[in-house]
Amino acid sequence: MHRLDRHIASLDGVRGAAILAVIVYHAGRGLTYTGSHEQIVQQLVGIGWIGVDLFFVLSGFLITGILLDSKGSERYFRTFYGRRALRIFPLYFVFVAAILWVAPLLRLIGPEDAERLHASQPWYWTYTVNALVARGGWAMTPWHTGHLWSLSVEEQFYLLWPAIVLVTARRTLIKVSFGIVVGVALLRAIVVAAAGPSLGIYVLLPTRMDELALGAALAGLAREPQAWRAVSRLTAPAAVLSAGVLLVMIRLQLLMPTNGPSEVVGYVALACLSGALLAGALNARKALIVWENPALRFLGRYSYGMYMWHQLTIAELQRLVAPGRLPVIGGSHLPGNALFVLVALVTTIVVALLSWNMIEYPFLKLKALLPYRKRGEDAAPARVLPAEVNDSSQRPISI
């Protein structure tokens, strides 16, 4: 197992794979596909939304690790929430201000969308976009802002979880986390049986918390060597079984965000596969060849900015080059589609790099003012706790 007191490079690779899947999904799903071979590619592109599931498990793992290792520190809550605010809020609120105020002023969006955004702005400012989507559907989040639902889920998790970690012993926390995993899966099955599948099940914390809780359980287990050895033995079987279930669902065209089979079975399989991938990234040397790939690690370091801006970037590219006007090469749409997705990815990276240097990095440096410190320890130098650099989601910075 990797040491937990340093930057874990393989987790950048996991994050990179997650953001790559999401961008390919949003950039490629609206393109033209004809013929059986192209439709196979379309199916693969169409499951890219599962990258968010991997993000959830990874987030639960990293955040819980930080909280476990900072228990007993002075100003536990103030330090955690202060550092979270410096990491998350600047870019998020710049983005919200840009879509609510700057875009209408520059007439980048139509008056109807601008009016809907203005009417819905309390949901954006308060990290409750997921509730807005559950209430009125994706149409309530115009101009490609619906992806903020997942950030709302995570922020709501952050409000609850630090207190639970503080008052719960580590081994008890592992049991509580697994209890949440099972309980949420049962809750989804009951809701689907009683009322049918719904968008609310997909976007609301009570029915999506299982993946965050699974990551939390893995964070606790990773700090107990004997328990982690048991996890390591189960990683490959869990990955094979969950991947097999998902492949069958893909083959039967049952794996999609909001249908009954996915909400009852698919989400569980996705959580298991994501957890197995995370555990494998920490363990297997052969797996590290993939997860420590420089390209994936690069994407992982800038994944927050990429996730924030990618929808708007793709939308603006589609205005410049309509998907129906992409070239057909050798009788196939795939080369033109691949070129568009590649351009969308590169453009998103450029925007994310600008975002990192202009917005994120200046605030991240302020984290040095909020070090985690055990009672009685000197204030300097600041103490970097396990997985803390990974939590920055960006290039390692010593704080």
Tell me the three state secondary structure of residue 383: strand
Residue-wise pLDDT tens digits, 56-88: 999 999 999 999 999 988 899 999 999 999 999
- Report angle CA 114, 140, 48 to the nearest 5 degrees: 110
Taking the C-alpha atoms of residue 273 and residue 279, their distance in angstroms, rounded to an integer, is 10
- Residue 54: closest CA among 218, 191, 220: 218
For the cut 90, the answer to whether the pLDDT of residue 325 exceeds it is no
Query: Does 216 or 399 have the greater pLDDT score?
Result: 216
Taking the C-alpha atoms of residue 104 and residue 114, their distance in angstroms, rounded to an integer, is 6
For the cut 70, the answer to whether the pLDDT of residue 396 exceeds it is no
Q: Which residues contact 358 (CB under 8 A, 6 or more apart)?
A: none
For the cut 80, the answer to whether the pLDDT of residue 110 exceeds it is yes
Domain ranges, ordered by start, for the chain: 9-391
Q: What is the pTM of this model?
A: 0.93
Residue-wise pLDDT tens digits, 275-293: 999 999 998 676 667 899 9
Q: Which residues contact 279 (CB under 8 A, 6 or more apart)?
A: 218, 231, 232, 235
- Report angle CA 290, 273, 217 to the nearest 5 degrees: 105
In this structure, of 5-9, 113-117, 196-200, 268-272, the range with the lowest mean pLDDT score is 5-9
